[in-house]
Amino acid sequence: MLLTDDDRAMRDGRDGDAVAAAMDLLVRYGEGLGAERLCSVRNVAGTSTQPTPAKEKIAAEGGWNKAYAVINLDCDDEIEIPKMRVPTCQLQHGFSADALNITPYNPHLVELQADAEAFASDRGINILATCTPYQVGNLPVRGEHIAWMESSAVVYANSVIGAKSNCEGTASTGAAGLTGRIPYWGNHLDENRHGSHLIRADVPIDSFLDWGLFGYFAGHVVQEERPVLTGELGLPSQADLKHLGAALATTGGVEIFHLPGVTPEAPSVEAAFGPHEVPEPVAFTASDRRQMYELLNNQGDTEDVDFVLLGCPHASLDQLGEIAALLDGRTLHPGTELWIMTPRALRAVADRNGYTEVIHRAGGRLLTDSCPAMSRTAPKGTRVFATDSAKQAHYLPAILGIEAWFGTTADCVQAAITGTWKGELS
């Protein structure tokens, strides 16, 4: 791999052992991928605070420097981790102390995470603790190379923002933060960002639910490739785009999509395909729409709902406002819990705006930092849950062994109020 003088100096120890280990990891990783060189990044989103048994064991024996070295740098040496070289943030992790009396999350994991968080903060890692760093001020610019983890965040960054990232991992982001470098391959190269499939909606796509169903379908069709989405599309909101991307990255491994006229690298259908011919479209019909809805609901059997989950990916302020309006003056069913996930920074605004009070008055909970899938936690005794997120409906039944219902945000709030699932596809 071609290294710059600066890369070589880092690898040879100019900036200390941890940076040398980070550069060694990036060179091994890049060579494994066939990358010819590294590129510079100034925005890294990864994880070093999520509590795991392996991390606990290493930290107990060798401290947090050792845990970062082994898990984030693939290095067994005794090294000191310095401050990050470039702006780096922590994505979602487990629940924190303020969720202890609300969720049945293990208090020991909360303590472990708090220790890891103190270590990471000290190294300059911003603890955003969300899968949507772009909602809370961590917004790269179009064309910028970045190193992000979290599939729903990566597809949003590539597609909606026009920044360039592959789906990185714990180790590559751990090394990127310390060096400001990442292998230049995959989505970093312009020629790999053009569309591969044309998917045409023959039914109107103009609601949060429909953007999720459309993404769930298109992910099935394109798998790891790059859909260009056209047809009867309304103008999506930011929440719609989050839901679309998360659904595309659930049934497929989609890391970039194009919406001609909306997303930055697709001023037109032709531009979205670059030098390639525009292929014949795959139609998304009314029957496909129903099929996706039924697929997401075939994990539900019992209409009594114990738990409703909203905010996957983490909810925006607009979504919180909508949920608060639906809950205003209502009270949750006594046997049903409602958790809404949002970034901690937006929770502060929701508190100030009165959304939190309305949600709490109704009996719901506004939670931060994590989600049931990340923390593998739901209210005790949950057998049946409902959600407006295609991603969460897809994964949570397998993770927690529970039934799932999928529908609109209003259907879900109604289920929380009545304790009964009545959602239907209109």
Residues at the interface with ligand F3S (CB under 6 A)? 92, 131, 152, 246, 312-314, 341, 371, 373-374, 391-392
Give the CA angle between residues 307, 310, 311 to the nearest 5°: 145
CB closer to ligand F3S, 7 vs 369: 369
Residues 6+ apart with CB under 8 A from 409: 208, 310, 319, 322, 323, 326, 388
Distance of CA 172 to the CA centre of its chain: 17
The CA distance from 200 to 234, in Å, is 13
CB closer to ligand F3S, 182 vs 312: 312
Q: Sort 367 into a burial class: Cβ within 10 Å, 0-12 / 13-18 / 19+.
A: buried
HSE (side-chain half, CA atoms, 13 Å) at 350: 29
Please, what is the minimum distance in Å from the beta carbon of residue 192 to ligand F3S?
24
SS (H, E, C) 277-310: CCCCCEEECHHHHHHHHHHHHCCCCCCECCEEEE
CB closer to ligand F3S, 38 vs 366: 366
CB closer to ligand F3S, 236 vs 245: 245
The CA distance from 309 to 395, in Å, is 13
Please, what is the minimum distance in Å from the beta carbon of residue 2 to ligand F3S?
36
Q: Is the separation of the CB atoms in 344 and 315 below 8 Å?
A: no
**What is the SS3 assignment for 157?**
helix
Please, what is the minimum distance in Å from the beta carbon of residue 357 to ligand F3S?
23
Q: Is the separation of the CB atoms in 184 and 165 below 8 Å?
A: no
DSSP bridge partners of 144: none
**How many residues appear in the chain?**
426
CB closer to ligand F3S, 130 vs 179: 130
401: left (phi over 0), alpha (psi -120 to 50) or beta: left
Please, what is the minimum distance in Å from the beta carbon of residue 375 to ligand F3S?
9
Q: At what angle do helices 317-327 and 344-353 cross, to 10 degrees?
A: 50
CB closer to ligand F3S, 99 vs 312: 312
CB closer to ligand F3S, 151 vs 356: 151
The CA distance from 43 to 126, in Å, is 11
CB closer to ligand F3S, 38 vs 374: 374
Please, what is the minimum distance in Å from the beta carbon of residue 402 to ligand F3S?
15
Please, what is the minimum distance in Å from the beta carbon of residue 391 to ligand F3S?
5
Helices (H), 223-285: 238-251, 269-273
The CA distance from 208 to 205, in Å, is 9
- The side-by-side arrangement of strands in the sheet containing 307-310 is 365-367, 337-341, 307-310, 384-387, 403-406
CB closer to ligand F3S, 174 vs 343: 343
CB closer to ligand F3S, 347 vs 391: 391
Please, what is the minimum distance in Å from the beta carbon of residue 283 to ligand F3S?
28
Please, what is the minimum distance in Å from the beta carbon of residue 130 to ligand F3S?
8
The CA distance from 250 to 172, in Å, is 22
Please, what is the minimum distance in Å from the beta carbon of residue 150 to ligand F3S?
7
Q: Is the separation of the CB atoms in 96 and 121 below 8 Å?
A: no
Distance of CA 115 to the CA centre of its chain: 24
Please, what is the minimum distance in Å from the beta carbon of residue 371 to ligand F3S?
3
Please, what is the minimum distance in Å from the beta carbon of residue 369 to ligand F3S?
10
CB closer to ligand F3S, 201 vs 312: 312
